[in-house]
Amino acid sequence: MPIKLLFILGTRPEAIKLAPLIKECKKRSGKFAVSVCSTAQHKEMLDQVLRFFEIVPDYNLGIMQNNQTLFGLTARCLAALEKVVAESRPDTIIVQGDTTTAFVGALAGFYGKTKVAHVEAGLRSNNKCSPFPEEINRRLVSVVADYHFAPTSRAAENLKNEGISSNVWVTGNTGIDALFLGLSLLKKNGDAAYSSMFAGVNFARRVMLVTLHRRESFGVPLENICEAFKQIIQNNPDVELVYPVHLNPNVLEPVKRILGSHPRVHLMEPLDYPGLLWIMNKCFCVLTDSGGIQEEAPSLGKPVLVLRDVTERQEGIDAGTAKLLGTDRHAIVEQTEHLLTNKKEYAVMAHAVNPYGEGAASEKIADALKGVK
């Protein structure tokens, strides 16, 4: 009998990082029977990724609401998953990362006396409020999970330090698998739609890609970051900024107020995943508070400047693919302009080996899952 797997996902990052694993497990139809449940925690951005990777959920819970709170989201998600787990009766539930969906999916598995597998296990910032609520989410998943797929040896060591040493595999990160799969789909389908999307950007200049959305950056930190961007653009006439802006008013308002009038700043609506891949492949460097991009961009030879005070992806900092700048305006300007003016420094970062693997994580996880029924 094939092992019954239930993948639970609800946000774009989860869908991106689980897509190659879902496809790998479906290829092994004699070994696995695969079901996919979408909580639709972030519906629109999630649906774009599922369409791109041609994944159709077997269960679509549609729990997203306007201005949803963590309290309401968690309660709705847990109540809806009770029926899914009872109906599908999986041998193993698979969750990814550190979202509310991942935490509640793991909890639903525990309540249903079902084994839980955690993809991207062991990431830690060691600050429970940064990122919020992700740091606590992933710690709680680790307590519940039966199988832990750590992307790096550091992540596995974090688990060991918390008393979790059995059923831990170091696999690399499935986000790298998704990156290469996505680029192959772009090449296959043609990328004309995406090149036209960025028609206003002058790629003869050095284009910096920005992504910012963390709750802990709201307010003064985000304003400091935007002021730093403004100064960098003013100081460097050969630089353009492409910034897909998160629709949260806490992000949108200060970004538009500080950066909206500059002709070399391109504020855009959030990009779908293939659009993000396209511009990431074309850009000079990435400035971000995102976790996934810290892993992906180095595989394309793009230096990453991390606009956070702490990161749970210390491996990239240690490997030299990324630098942790914080949110201080002067530090951001100084370090970014150093990268712009120092070709040797840029080359070192661009050619550093990506610590998150070469794109074989999904195969390693599927191999491990074969033996854990």
Q: Is 295 labeled as catalytic in the residue annotation?
A: no
CA 79 to chain centre: 26
Instruction: Show the beta-strand stretches assigned E in the chain.
Output: 3-9, 32-38, 59-60, 92-96, 115-119, 147-150, 168-170, 206-211, 239-244, 265-268, 285-288, 304-306, 322-324
Q: Which is the catalytic residue, given 206, 246, 262, 264?
A: 246
Q: Is 246 labeled as catalytic in the residue annotation?
A: yes
Q: Which is the catalytic residue, given 120, 177, 240, 312?
A: 120
Per the structure block, which two tokens stand in for 229?
């961007």
Residue 163's CB: how many other CB atoms inside 10 A? 9
Residue type, 113: K
> Please, are residues 22 and 14 in contact by the beta-carbon 8 Å criterion?
no
Q: Which is the catalytic residue, given 14, 134, 240, 289?
A: 134
Element (H or E) spanning 220, and its range? helix 220-235
Residue 249's CB: how many other CB atoms inside 10 A? 9
Q: Is 262 labeled as catalytic in the residue annotation?
A: no
Angle between helices 43-52 and 273-282 (to 10 degrees): 70
Per the structure block, which two tokens stand in for 344?
């040797």
- Beta bridge pairs of residue 92: 5, 115
Q: How many helices (H) and strands (E) does the chain have?
A: 16, 13
At CA 41, angle to CA 116 and CA 109, rounded to 5? 20
Q: Is 118 labeled as catalytic in the residue annotation?
A: no
Residue listed under structure tokens 């949260």: 248
Closest CA to 267 of 246, 286, 285, 283: 246
CA 162 to chain centre: 24
Q: Which is the catalytic residue, given 154, 213, 308, 329?
A: 213
Q: Which is the catalytic residue, given 215, 264, 337, 345?
A: 215
Q: Which is the catalytic residue, given 98, 135, 240, 296?
A: 98
Q: Where in the sequence numbering do the catalytic residues fall?
A: 98, 120, 134, 213, 215, 246
